[in-house]
Structure 1
Amino acid sequence: MRLAYITAATTAVAALVFLVPLGWGLRSDHREKALSDAALQTATVAGALVAGAGDKGVAAAVEAAGDPVVHTPGLAPSAGGRASAAEIDRAATGAETSTLDVAGGVIRLHPVTANGKSWVIETFVPDAALGENTARDWWLLLGLAVLLVGGSVIVVDRLARGAVDSANNLVEAALAVGDGDLGVRIHPSGPRELAEVGYAFNRMADRLVTSRTDERELVADLSHRLRTPLTALRLDAEALDPDDTQIIDLTAEEVDRRRGIRRIRQAIASLDDEVNQLINTTRQAVAAQVAAASEEGLCDASEVVRERMTFWSALADDQNRQHRVLGAQMRIPVPVARAELAAALDAVLGNVFRYTPQGTAFEVALSRRDGWVALRVDDAGQGIPDPEKALRRGQSQQGSTGLGLDIARRMTQSSGGSVSLDRAAMGGASVVMLIADAEATPKTPSRFGLVGRGPRGRRGQRGS
């Protein structure tokens, strides 16, 4: 009996060692998920404000995002908000999002500046959302602890050695998870109760990995959302006067102004590098899940194209770019994650807006044949002088990081496809992303690369 008590006490301590850190970890995950959802709502409204949407467009974005509140600094707080005027003004002068505790939850104040105007977007996160499922998790962990201790007491005389070994394995695995190694899994053994705890531990560890993966995908998606306003900002900066200060007869005021223009361009370039780094880091963390192309990874390519073109068309209209979308009316399922396909299309379209003059037309087309889906982006710009070099990671002839086409290439390769460059019938570059068709068996893809461009592309192709 003494051995039973000792074993029970040991098992209880082991349970506390890994269940308490796991419980706090799950609680933190719930809170971070709630704040991440609020950040996504804020990004939707911020995108509309930066894109220059009118009052109706901003109102539609607010409604779609779950009714966050948009404040104008210097004026009275908007109806429905919980922040005071002083807090709004203080948030508007800051460069980062601030989080404040209020009655019933917290609020996120996100400053937005575009076209010489400033706004502060307030998103309220109630306490119920911050602590959602926390009590259930604690009860689950408590139940597992009771089961572990009770089982060890009942069968200790027969399975003492097995129970001790199993408890030691659980302790080691729990400590490894507490140190950040979420890849640790155990082989359930020993008494039935401890084996069940082992299975439960593995499920919880899988759940933590899934939660981390979802957070990284959200970060990557938000990063890609930054590409569009960043492209617009870059185009506006390039339209400013030259920043050369080496001319002798410049006045002091003119030198200061040109230095300010230079700092703006340098800041935009640094921000662009940070966004690229953030995208690469988060995409590498979830590359294995995307490459699996499971049923959960399927998405409708037509729906993604329509959604992203709705977003890009606003900027195209501002720059007087003629554009059209072909073949995106019918459902076309492809075995890639929705976020990955959207990121690849955003990267290619971002290159069109960045490296072709304002007013340059472009076209986005979808087609499917022989088990392949071709997503083609053509423009009427100057083309790509060295397509082979442009497809290599980190290579660019435009002074950028060269990661745009690499994002598209990795997305297509996850389904066995590829990316090809050619001269478009419109006169500029033609980028074709070849993706496996989820509803047909792919045939040899080399012929479909030409089909994706169409007859005009074949007649007009030359070295690009």
Structure 2
Amino acid sequence: MLVAAAMTLTLLAFLAPLALLVRSVAEDTAVDRAARDAQTLALLVATGDRDAVALAAERMNAAGSFTVYLADGTTLGAPAPATDAVRFARSGRSLTVASDSGREIVLAVQGEGVAVVRAQVPEADLRRGVSRAWLMLAGLGALLLGLGVVVADRLAVSLVRPMGEVSAASRQLAAGQLDVRAAVAGPPEVREAAAALNHLAGRIQELLQQERENVADLSHRLRTPLTALRLEAETLPDPHAGRVAARIDGLERTVSALIRQARQRVAEPSGCDIAAVVAQRVTFWSALAEDTDRAMTSQLDDGPLPAAVPADELAAAVDALLGNVFAHTPDGVSFSVGLTRSGDVARLVVADEGGGLPGLTGRGISGGGSTGLGLDIASRLAASGGGSLRAGARSDGRPGTEVVLDLALVRPVLTSA
């Protein structure tokens, strides 16, 4: 639009004077042609041969309007009344005047008295060819405008298309597709931006890979103390040896899952049955609740409650919520676990009768002497599963803390045998 506006103004600046020039040239051409014919007729009038003058005037009137006013008052050629210009020419002066019907050329011829030759140029002759010329100029202007807009559009596309590809690549990178790279094309500035984005994407990929390896290495180091704990557990008398060994097995499975998750480049889509996972973790923590003299109440729906979250991540979130109860309340404090279905949402409620939240302020920050990551793990799981996490005072008005984890349910995929 900017190019079209600029070209329109430029074309108007050139074509408008050119159009006026064309009209002026057409008028001058018609007047000059009539003046030459009038001068030719005036030469004949000067000879005094009336027959030759009458014949010439008749021939010229086929292409114009010529009248000869002789000194004796005789009129030859096209009949026309004497105008003011003709009467003025009687004084011996020739002139050209504009009239309502066109241009009037009068020539005074000296002889036996003053004869006057009058040529009338009608308006149509003055404008002959002007309309056609103006149409040609308008067509030329429209053609140039169209060509200019097309060229500007192609030039804009050559600039905008690489920028669009860089923008699309940045959105894909933001969505987690770290292998995407922008095409280095277009103007120098766009190529530089694309190269910088590609370098940034590569650097992010390297840093993430390094972080995964560090987490995996750190997790792998836990296997040595776990092995030592297993050996120590085997020396314990029954039934403590079996219970401790079972807990060590669970911890080892968690570490193994952490290593696998850390080494994954992209999380694979997976799902689980919320009811089955929660029931398993509640059974695991019930033994510890019994050892610490805690009354544990559980009301769990039978399910199935399918959700689009990995089973190990859900188990880690449930362990974090239940672990907070044991970490932030003294032994003997009772708690409850509830799992219900409400429409397309599964709700897990963990409520205790302790002293309330220890003042969590953010990830890795806790006022209760912990790492502050437990609720963050559950919160990130809720966000990935299309749900939410709320923590606060109990909704029934009793003292203590209540944590509510909502997860969106999905329809199970049916397969035919």
- TM-score (structure 2 length as normaliser): 0.38
Higher alpha-carbon Rg: 2
The structure with higher relative contact order (CA 8 Å, sep 6+) is: 1
- TM-score (structure 1 length as normaliser): 0.35
